[in-house]
Structure 1
Amino acid sequence: MIKSRQIGASVNRLEGQLKVTGKATYAGEYNEKELVHGYIINSTIPKGKMIAIDETAARKVDGVIEIFTYKNRPRLPWFDIMYADMDAPPGSPFKPLLDNNIKYNGQPIALVVADSFETARFAASLVNIVYEETTSSTNLKENLAHAKNPKKGLATLIKPLPPKPKGDFEKAFIESEVTSSQEFYHSAEHHNPIELFATTTIYEGDGKLTVYDKTQGTSNCQIYIANVFGLRYSNVQVISPFVGGGFGSGLRPQYQLFLCVMASLELKMNVRVSMDRKQMFTFGHRPQTLQTVNFGADATGKLTALSHKAIAETSRFEDYTEVVVNWGNMLYPVKNTLLDYQLVPLDLYTPLDMRAPGGSTGLHAIETAMDELAYKLKIDPLEFRLINYAERDDSSDKPFSSKELKECYLQGAKKFGWDERNPAVRDTRRGNRLVGQGMSSGIWDVIALPAKASAKLTKKGNLIIKSAVTDIGTGTYTIMSQIAADELGVDVNDIIFRYGDSKMPLSPIQGGSYTTGVVGSAIKAACIALKKKLFKKAKLIPQSPFISIRLKEVIFENKRIVLKKNPSVFTNFDEILHNYRKPIKVSKSNIPNVLTLKKYTRAAHSAAFVEVEVDEQLGTINVTRAVTAVAAGTIINPKTARSQILGGMTWGISKALREESLLDTNLGKFINANLGEYHIPVHADIHELDVIFVEEKDEIINELGSKGIGEIGLASMAPAIANAIFHATGKRINNFPIHFDELL
């Protein structure tokens, strides 16, 4: 076995210098000639109709080119079809400028196009719109009577609905020695990546477009544009090599893409449309969710009953779902379960996947209930989880493809110093601060999807790998280069990885922690195919030493094919190219083995250990230190992987203590639509954070054995903080975020 050279190495980000020096070009920075700008006008009521639009003053402004509304927008194929993108939930997607109906506050209702952004924005302020407002419903808690079961669709294949009840929950719960019954509420959250949503559309003529878009899926946007505007796929090229954060907000094409492409096609001009920060609050968000849990256990600490119910918001036009209640029985074996998930349609925009969607919400309730039972039973919270450790997935009666959660518990606890913890509640102090420690389990699904990649050895000896995949800032560019370099036996700097372009081999949208396993496996497959082709060509070289040699008898290293038994026998890539006289290229797809995969539950796991200090007089909370141990199969690049987990841990602090979109339910409007009042942690809030990667081998999930780490670092962090606050103060605060006044 030849030792891996690149996979597992802590390689610096290959594009890092471009980003920190400002040389990386983002969607709103392509300054093409004769570029005009669009500014979006949004509705100011939550529901009703537009009965008049006065554009007179706006059209008199020098530099204004056109104002698009429902009255003069073109007729499009999209208005007669249901779905147009890969990530659409069941229902009928929102269609900008369709008619004069207002479905939610912030709905895009007009686009002003002018010779500069400033002119377009000023002219937009002069457009006068008269509304006829009707009664709206935007309050989740006041509309629980309208809760319904979600519609089934393609989305439920990736986001399964709750499994059927098992056993007799009611009887088991009543007979349980100890019980935990709690209610939880999660506020809405908005993604707020640094890069605002922007699209630059270059009109090439003859129905051809080059589109620079802020997205998490170039192929998805290409499909969307072609479907919506009735264009040939080959005539639409979407490019997005650099993305300034996404967190799920770029999974679906956002409305600035539609408006920009529409304006470009109608005006036959190059157009840019950019959102401002306030407009970033006018589309998808993490949904408000209410949860009820009822857990029961016997005197020995074994769980006997588990009920988890959730009610979340959705829009009137789509059924957005999350996997909220399914996790408890995957983590802990229980014979009697009752799980339920419902949606309340509101006059708000459809929610959208946001890092660890559903998982970070549901685990707060599950892990808090586990913590409460442990205290009632006077069993250490870690020991309680070990008593209820699942060797197989009890919810589906399937084995795990691999599972090292127990090692996450043990290694994380040792690093944190859990054994030294004082178990008594509200009993540890540092001056006027109460000190508490808490822990939580984490879990996240491993999703398998098809993808395609190509590999080519050029006449000049360059190794070029291509995929349409984006890099939303997670290090995808670097790790894909590592995977290719490792397979071909070259240095990572010898790989030219071309990506973020819909003209390249098809890639699914980047999200759900599946990109490394899915696209990485396609790249590995392409590189294996290239190796086979190179070896075949090597045999055709006059007097080749490999004529009677099989592929398994050679290795690829330093741009050479080398005989394992005798390294002095080799052929370098240049010789092969000189003899063949043409580039050598292959294209390969990664098609998951569904029949094998469906026999297993595939998941990454984590355990978080957190210490907090709570000021006894002021109620302010500070996370002083935390450790997260992660089991996620093969870690391609420990350096970029550690950054991902640290980012998830930081977001866990934000979710538990800071982050909240405040909805005025009368206006149906989020009122803290800026980074001054939408609170996120600053450097002073983040202290000692540590990450452990537990060794885990998985030969089932994909060719790389990699589970992905984007979500798992967040999933366990926020519940651990809530449990630490209870240990410090003796108070269970089940609303996220936790406000300090609740601790006074």
Structure 2
Amino acid sequence: MTELSFGLPLPRVDGPAKVTGQARYAAEFDQPGQAHGVIVSSTVGLGRIVGIDDRETLALPGVLAVLSHLNAPKLAYRKHKSGIDPAFGERLHVLQDDRIRFFGQPVAVVVAETLDQAEHAANRLGLSYESEPPVVGLDHAEAVEIIPDAGRQPGGRASDSARGDADAALGRAEVQVDATYGMARENHNPMEPHATVAAWQGDQLTLWSKSQYVVNEAAQIEAVFGLAKRSVRVICPYVGGGFGTSLRTWPHVTLAALAARHVGRPVKLVLTRRQMFDTTGHRPCTRQRVALGASADGVLSALIHEGTGETSRHEQFVEALTAASRYLYSCPNVRTRYRLTPLDTGTPTYMRGPGEASGIFAVESAMDELAVKLGMDPVALRLRNEPDHDEAHDLPFSSRSLRACYEAGATRFGWSRRDPRPGSMRDGRLLIGWGMASATYPTMRAGAKARARLLADGSVEVETAASDMGPGTYTSMSQVAADALGLAVDDIRFALGRSDFPAAPPHGGSMTMASVGSAVQAACLALREASGLGNAVPSRQAYGALVARRGEPIVADAASAGGAEQQRFSMHAFGAVFAEVAVDPDLAMVRVRRVVGAYGAGRIVNPLLARSQCTGGMVGGIGMALMEQTVLDPRDGRPVNASMADYLVPVSLDIGTLEALFVEETDPHLNPLGVKGLGEIALVGTAPAVTNAVFHATGRRVRDLPIRIEALL
């Protein structure tokens, strides 16, 4: 019998295709007779279009059409809400009226024979506006309550909550911390830009489109165009990075389909890097107040977490900004409050570690401040307040290995050698700081389906409409399938990224392995049962012989969905992150020398891929702490640094040693695989660990991200 591959650090099965250029991304699915579309974006931040002069544009060589609100057909825009779309508000109805709602809003699309011709023509289109001054900053607008239908965070938690009397307990506390923390707007900036190739055959539409949720993209476009179900097919075998920006179906997909129908030819439309700052979401800017009250020995008596996040005026985007504050630490008096500030911008969306990454930064910074006031070790303070159950929902944790994470991470990092005095540790003239933070992210599981097909050569094809934006879905799913069937990974051909495959949930929220992996396992076990091998030792040869006798492939479908465990247990992954920084005392430049993260994430399907996920998340957390910030011009809402030259992200020279550890954790309550997600939690605790280390190095507490040089001078 083939040895089990579950838990082995196997290399990516799709690696050769990617490094040899055989893997095809959305913009590479060129079609015969294809034309090219280019979006014309608004150059004002608020107002309306009062004139469009396309005469010169239409006369240019190769131009096939100019579509705007003046000649675009009225689209159905049937109501459609997936779990990704904001519950309150309505998606942008592109080219349906003359209103400008935010800078960069698509106002026209030019279609031409070649990309050069389309770009040139788009630049020559004459547009005039009546503009108004937009409101694009949290400091210049009023926060509003979340509409009740939308006022739910992931997991069904209300946006406001209270247990005990946190305000009264804070007033009585021996030691108090009460501070405000800010986080800048961030943009996802994956390597692959958003792209769609659209081709119609009658009323049937095929989209080769970058998407982390192909099933929903097909349903969304059917709703926009008023098409019958199963009229749209979305194909996306590879995603070149997403981080959440490709979860929703943004206006460029509609424009590509609209243009293709108008000219009667396939149309390719690829967003520029600058356009990706306007219309494909972003992590919202937030302002948060965290107040902690504790006894002199460090026992928490009060925790208040109030947050405000930005949203667009046409939709209310909500995330789990304050959710972790309710269960992360033991505290009898907790109050949370979450509000939104509508701005004249595009709608924010989920970005890696959504909600928790922002909220944990504030809470873990405040915990570090409390530890300093108490004269207590930051790890000891957290251990002092470890809960034995989820106090917010009065549920047991399905598993909680945070104590083990503290121990493993601290030991590996050498935390016991830390001198607690700020500015006391040096390397020559450089100030050295050591900081740490806790991390957590919910373990979610959504309904998913998969199909397994046994072929005449004894190999197996597995299909599901999942996505792979880089964590190694092809490989980990092949490992699950191979183990269920008793085959080698090389005997499995795993396929994903088509909306006509068995339905799968969005590739986000750290739930792909728990959801899709469970469905893949179920389908393969069903296939093994259908093969009739019984207790016989499986092999590729034995499977092939069965198919030969039947004369046709054997097929099994299966579905998986979360059950009662989600109501009986509080289910989360946990982690502890330790960071070392070096700060130049004269130039105030910060370098992250090393990060160690220890995680309790259930069974690890592939340690090689899992460590890659964690180190990638750490890089994102370093960027959040020190570099990433989208700056909007207050005069018109224009992102002034909308390029990879000006929007700073970490590069190789910015990164020191990154190490991820996994504590052994068996959780029988989670899902059939016993897994928890890793993609989100790896980013969640990194930024506060870095900023706490900066305080330890310098004695300066910076409460606004990213940390700028002038904040340390």
Alignment TM-score > 0.5, same fold? yes
Change in 2 beyond 3 A, CA 1:291/1:473: same
Aligned match of 2:468 in 468, 471, 480? 471
Partner of 2:578: 609
Aligned counterparts of 1:661 and 1:43: Cα–Cα separation in 2? 18
- For the 8 Å contact 1:66–1:114, the answer to whether it is kept is yes
Query: Aligned-pair distance for 1:98?
Result: 1.3
Alignment partners' CA distance in 2, 1:264 and 1:579: 48
The aligned residue for residue 320 of structure 1 is: 317
Q: Deviations over 1:267-295 (max 9, x none)?
A: 22111011111101012110010000110
- Cα gap change, 1:625 to 1:157, in 2 (>3 Å): closer
Match of 1:303 in 2: 300
State whether residues 163 and 395 of structure 1, in contact with CA within 8 Å, keep that contact through their aligned partners in structure 2.
Answer: no
2:111 to 105, 110, 113: 113
Judge conservation of contact 1:76–1:230 (CA < 8 Å) in 2.
yes
Identity of aligned residues (%): 38
Q: Offset at 1:717?
A: 0.6
Question: Counterparts of 2:437 and 2:312 in 1: how far apart (Å)?
Answer: 32
Q: 1:584 is matched by which residue type in structure 2?
A: I
Q: Unmatched 5+ residue regions in structure 1?
A: 539-550, 561-571
The whole-number CA distance in structure 2 between the counterparts of 1:530 and 1:717 is 42
CA distance in 1, matches of 2:188, 2:114: 28
Alignment of 1:166-315 (within 5 A): 166-203=163-200, 205-283=201-279, 284-315=281-312
In structure 2, the residue matched to 1:559 is: 540
Per the alignment, in what secondary structure is the counterpart of residue 405 of structure 2?
A: helix
TM-score, L = length of structure 1 = 0.94
Structure 2 residue corresponding to 1:651, chosen from 620, 623, 626: 620
Q: How does 1:545-624 map to 2 (within 5 A)?
A: 551=534, 554=535, 556-559=537-540, 572-593=542-563, 595-624=564-593
Cα deviation code 1:691-729 (max 9, x no counterpart): 101111111111111111001110111100011111111
1:494-509 alignment runs, 5 A limit: 494-509=491-506
Going from structure 1 to structure 2, the CA distance change for 1:62 and 1:590 (only over 3 Å counts) comes to: same
When residues 84 and 124 of structure 1 are mapped into structure 2, their CA distance, relative to the original with a 3 A threshold, is farther
CA contact (8 A) 2:2 2:486 kept: no
Q: 2:457, 2:540 within 8 Å by CA — same for their partners in 1? A: no
Query: Distance in 1 between the 2:536 and 2:422 partners?
Result: 60
Code of the aligned partner of 1:30: F
Residue equivalent to 1:381: 378
Distance 1:65 1:697 in 2: 61
Task: Check conservation: 1:85, 1:223, Cα contact below 8 A.
Answer: no
SS at match of 1:246: coil
AA at the equivalent of 2:146: N
Tell me how many residue pairs correspond in the alignment: 711
Deviation at 1:73, TM superposition (A): 1.0
Give, as a single letter, the amino acid of the residue that structure 1 aligns with 2:257: V
User: CA shift at 1:148, angstroms?
Assistant: 2.3
> Which deviates more, 260-269 or 184-193?
260-269
Q: Which has the larger radius of gyration?
A: 1
Quote the residue 1:138 is aligned against.
Answer: 136
**Range that drifts further, 662-671 or 223-232:** 223-232
| Cα deviation digits, residues 334-368 of structure 1 (max 9, x gap) | 11111100001111111010000111101111011
Q: Please report how far the alpha carbon of residue 559 of structure 1 lies from its aligned counterpart in structure 2 after TM superposition.
A: 3.0
Tell me if the contact between 2:214 and 2:498 (Cα under 8 Å) persists in the aligned partners: yes
> How far apart in 2 are the matches of 1:162 and 1:77?
32
1:233 is displaced (CA, Å) by 3.1
What is the alpha-carbon distance in structure 2 between the residues aligned to residue 344 and residue 150 of structure 1?
12
Query: For 2:212, what is the secondary structure of its paired residue?
Result: coil
Deviation per residue, 1:306-327 (Å, 9 max, x gap): 0000011101111100111121
Write the distance in 1 (CA, Å) between the matches of 2:332 and 2:403.
21
Question: How far is the alpha carbon of 1:149 from its aligned partner?
Answer: 2.8
Answering whether residue 43 of structure 2 is matched by residue 44 of structure 1, we say yes
Q: Is the 8 A contact 1:112 1:120 kept in 2?
A: yes
Distance 1:113 1:330 in 2: 53
Aligned to 2:531, the other structure's residue is in SS state helix
Q: Give the aligned residue type for 1:126.
A: R
Deviation at 1:578, TM superposition (A): 2.9
> In structure 2, what residue type is equivalent to 1:13?
R
- Is contact 1:150-1:321 (8 Å) kept? no
Tell me whether 1:697 sits opposite 2:678 in the alignment: no
CA contact (8 A) 1:85 1:221 kept: no
Could you tell me which residue of structure 2 aligns to residue 55 of structure 1?
A: 54
Structure 2 residue identity aligned to 1:300: D
8 Å CA contact 2:461–2:493 kept in 1: the answer is yes
Alignment partner, residue 127 of structure 1: 125
1:486 maps to 483
Q: CA deviation at 1:657?
A: 0.3
Q: Distance in 2 between matches of 1:159 and 1:202?
A: 39
CA contact (8 A) 2:565 2:670 kept: no
Q: Partners of 1:146 and 1:364 in 2: how far apart? A: 21
Letter in 2 for 1:265: R
> What residue is the counterpart of 1:13 in the other structure?
12
Give, in angstroms, the shift of residue 238 of structure 1: 0.7
Residue correspondence of structure 1 range 380-459 to structure 2 within 5 A: 380-459=377-456
Contact 1:161 1:341 in 2 (8 A): no
Taking a change above 3 Å as real, the CA distance of residues 738 and 157 of structure 1, as seen in their structure-2 partners, is: closer
Mapped to 1, the partners of 2:579 and 2:637 lie a distance apart of 36
- CA shift at 1:166, angstroms? 1.2
Inter-CA distance 670–555: structure 2 relative to 1 (3 Å threshold): farther
The one-letter amino acid paired with 2:450 is A
CA deviation map 1:184-208 (0-9, x unaligned): 11110000000011101122x2212
State the distance in 2 between where 1:159 and 1:663 align: 33
Query: In the alignment, residue 110 of structure 2 is paired with which amino acid?
Result: V
Structure 2 vs 1, CA of residues 464 and 154 (structure 1 numbering), >3 Å: closer, same or farther? farther
The SS at the match of 1:676 is coil
- Offset at residue 133 of structure 1 (A): 1.2
Does 2:609 match 1:640? yes
1:114–1:452 Cα change, 3 Å = same
Amino acid at match of 1:424: R
Q: Does the Cα contact within 8 Å between 1:198 and 1:275 map onto a contact in 2? A: yes
In structure 2, relative to structure 1, the CA distance for the partners of 1:471 and 1:176 (3 Å cut) is same
- Structure 2 counterpart SS, 1:185: strand
2:403, 2:710 → 1: CA distance? 37
Deviation at 1:740, TM superposition (A): 1.4
Cα distance change on mapping 1:555 and 1:94 into 2, 3 Å: farther
Which residue is 1:547 aligned to?
none
Alpha-carbon spacing, 1:21–1:3, altered in 2? closer, same or farther (3 Å): closer
Give the stretch that moved more between structures: 147-156 or 451-460. Answer: 147-156
In structure 2, do the counterparts of structure 1 residues 670 and 151 end up closer, same or farther at CA, with 3 Å as the change threshold? farther
| Alignment partner of 1:345 is 2:342 | yes
In the alignment, structure 2 segments of 5+ residues that lack a partner are: none
Cα gap change, 1:456/1:520 in structure 2, threshold over 3 Å: closer, same or farther?
A: same
Q: Distance in 1 between matches of 2:668 and 2:124?
A: 62
Q: Distance in 1 between matches of 2:154 and 2:592?
A: 37
Pairing of 1:364-379 with structure 2 (within 5 A): 364-379=361-376
For 2:539, the aligned partner's letter is N
Counterpart secondary structure, 1:125 = helix
Task: Indicate the RMSD between aligned Cα atoms, in angstroms.
Answer: 1.5
